[in-house]
Structure 1
Amino acid sequence: MSQPENQLRPNVPVSPEPLAPFPQEKPDTLRKIAFDKFMKNKLAVIGLVVLIIIITAAICAPLLTQYNPNNQELLKKLQPPGSEHWLGVDTLGRDMYTRLLYGARVSLLVGFSSVTVSIIIGTIVGAIAGYYGGRIDNFLMRTVDVFLSFPSLFLLITLVTIFDPSIDKLILAFALFGWTTTARLVRGEFLSLRSREFVLAAKTMGVKSSRIIFSHILPNAMGPIIVTATLNVGIIILAESALSYLGLGIQPPTPSWGNMLQDAQSLTIMYTAPWYPIFPGLMILITVLAFNFVGDGLRDAFDPKMKS
């Protein structure tokens, strides 16, 4: 009889085969998470694409039209849209398509410049108030309350009535009353961040307060600031259009979407050329909606409590 097979083999220890290492995936960064959330918001992506198209068209306006925005052809005034003038001609014979392109430049310039100035002022005030607290916080926040107590619309109308309305004065006027919301928002963020471990560690190491504010805390508060800035651009564009519609904003012959609507107040034009106010009004609507969609998408992307 043959011996069992396990008795014929010598007792040689068998070394276990090495296990294949598990693939280690890099953890997603906050930027990637925010980007993925934003891209999943279809309205935000559509709004971003629309804004890119509008901004590109405004920058490349001289390349997209052969007409001068202030060139008048009185014999063709109120000519309806056609092959020669795609969007028609206004009351002074100026090409509407060309004036829409150049008007986008003015409206976007006022919006972006006003928001940039107001964001800078509001961020500095809110950061100082939220970081230091105490009497400095009380003084700065009472100053914010004073600005908020004034009716901004009436003050804007008063300012542009007293001074000759121009682009730079409109930017300063909008920035003067637009920084208060940003200051309160930044102050709240700094109040919640100044007691975090990384801030306490920086203080323990003797880092200067200015560096802690701008290098440690402010980058962690940029999400809400970017969202507020995006939403405020649409608000400023709408406010500028309203003032220009009333004749208190950008003055002709400089084109803006608001003063292009000014002639639409005439009932004669509404009956003879009903298409005339549609195009500038549609551009204001599309642009403001696009900024609001992008702002909502950024808010959802930067808010960790929001589910994608």
Structure 2
Amino acid sequence: MAQPNLASNNELELQGLNNKADTMTRIIIRKFFKNKLAVIGAILLFIIITAAICAPLLTPYSPEKQELLDRFLTPSKEHLLGTDTFGRDIFTRLLYGARVSLMVGFASVAGAMVIGTTLGALAGYFGGIIDAMIMRFVDIMLSIPTIFLLITLITIFNPGVDKLIIIFALTGWMGTSRLVRGEFLSLRSREFVLASKTIGTNSFKIIFREILPNAMGPIIVAATLAIGSVILSESALSYLGLGIQPPDASWGNMLQDAQSITIMLKYWWYPTAPGLCILVTVLAFNFVGDGLRDALDPKINE
């Protein structure tokens, strides 16, 4: 009697899983590209990120060099958006300000996601006293007004890109922890988790190798939406003089420089440029986040 070819069966099963994953990826991509606003947001983000990275190639000027004899020049071929109060090229400062805003947004959200995902995963998987302790800590953090906490921490540690990243990461993980906890509570009783427990797989391997990959969809969406929020918060703090400090360029401190009524009325392009950059960037992240949420949701049909 012929013995079944176990190797061939395993190969067929693995091929079937790969085909299924490939099919799901194609479905997600197709659903995302059907969302016109999400596609527009992705294109805008690509342009903004590329311009920020290639800033030295796109402008010959320094973002910090002052030319007091060239103050408030109108837009021209030499200065596409004119010059500011100190004769600095506005277009150049916009490009380098994008670097700062995007760096703060991406880095701080990455840190917040790591903290929130780790704590939420532990709470959702183990439950019991671990869950209670972590969630009560989350409740305490959420009860503190975020804006006052940010201002207090920044005042104590002095503003700077590195400090802003750390502060935003330490104050922005609570929502993610709750989201991840909810995902883990629903996934920990699934068959593949029970099977891993049955064969004695280590708990942390189950958390980070088995359950977490299945919970990444909501985490990615939350991260995308959070980046826009952080950019907005960083700009607001810089506008108040509590964020990035001159001469470093930031969209927020560019708005602060242009807050005079005289400047707003006579040199309207000066405050308009950084304001539009903030608006477009935050909207683009929100559009992409909404598109990803719809694409990753299996309940939404194509």
Pair 1:303 & 2:297 matched: yes
Identity over aligned pairs, percent? 69
Amino acid at match of 1:141: M
Counterpart in the other structure of 2:187:
193
Among 65, 72, 86, the residue aligned to 2:66: 72
Pair 1:161 & 2:155 matched: yes
Shift of 1:231: 0.2
Shift of 1:106: 0.3
Among 16, 24, 43, the residue aligned to 2:37: 43
The unaligned stretches of length 5 or more in structure 2 are 1-18
For 1:114 and 1:29, the matched residues in 2 are separated by 33
Shift of 1:35: 1.1
What pairs up with 1:138-217 in 2 under 5 angstroms? 138-217=132-211
Amino acid at match of 1:90: D
Shift of 1:76: 1.1
Counterpart in the other structure of 1:11:
none
Counterpart in the other structure of 2:254:
260
For 2:158 and 2:22, the matched residues in 1 are separated by 53
Amino acid at match of 2:196: A
For 2:21 and 2:74, the matched residues in 1 are separated by 58
CA RMSD between the two structures: 1.2
For 2:276 and 2:21, the matched residues in 1 are separated by 44
Amino acid at match of 1:159: L
Pair 1:87 & 2:90 matched: no
For 1:163 and 1:132, the matched residues in 2 are separated by 36
Deviations 1:15-60 (A, max 9, x none): xxxxxxxxxx979632221111101111101111110111111111
Amino acid at match of 2:185: L
For 1:271 and 1:186, the matched residues in 2 are separated by 48
Shift of 1:103: 0.5
Deviations 1:197-243 (A, max 9, x none): 00000100111101100000000000000000000000000000000
For 2:125 and 2:111, the matched residues in 1 are separated by 21
For 1:301 and 1:280, the matched residues in 2 are separated by 31
Amino acid at match of 1:185: L
Deviations 1:140-187 (A, max 9, x none): 000000000000101111111222101111111111110000000000
For 1:28 and 1:305, the matched residues in 2 are separated by 19
Alignment size in residue pairs:
284
Q: Secondary structure at the match of 2:172?
A: helix
Counterpart in the other structure of 2:274:
280
Deviations 1:51-98 (A, max 9, x none): 011111111111111111111111111111111100110000000011
The unaligned stretches of length 5 or more in structure 1 are 1-24
Pair 1:223 & 2:217 matched: yes
Q: Which of these two proteins has the greater Rg computed from alpha carbons?
A: 1
Amino acid at match of 1:73: E
Residues 190 and 94 (structure 1 numbering): CA distance in 2 closer, same or farther, change over 3 Å? same
- On the 8 A contact 2:259/2:271 being kept in 1, the answer is no
Give TM-score scaled by structure 2 length.
Answer: 0.92
Counterpart in the other structure of 2:53:
59
Counterpart in the other structure of 2:109:
115
Shift of 1:266: 1.0
Amino acid at match of 2:134: L
Stretch deviating more after TM superposition (132-141 or 71-80): 71-80
Give TM-score scaled by structure 1 length.
Answer: 0.90
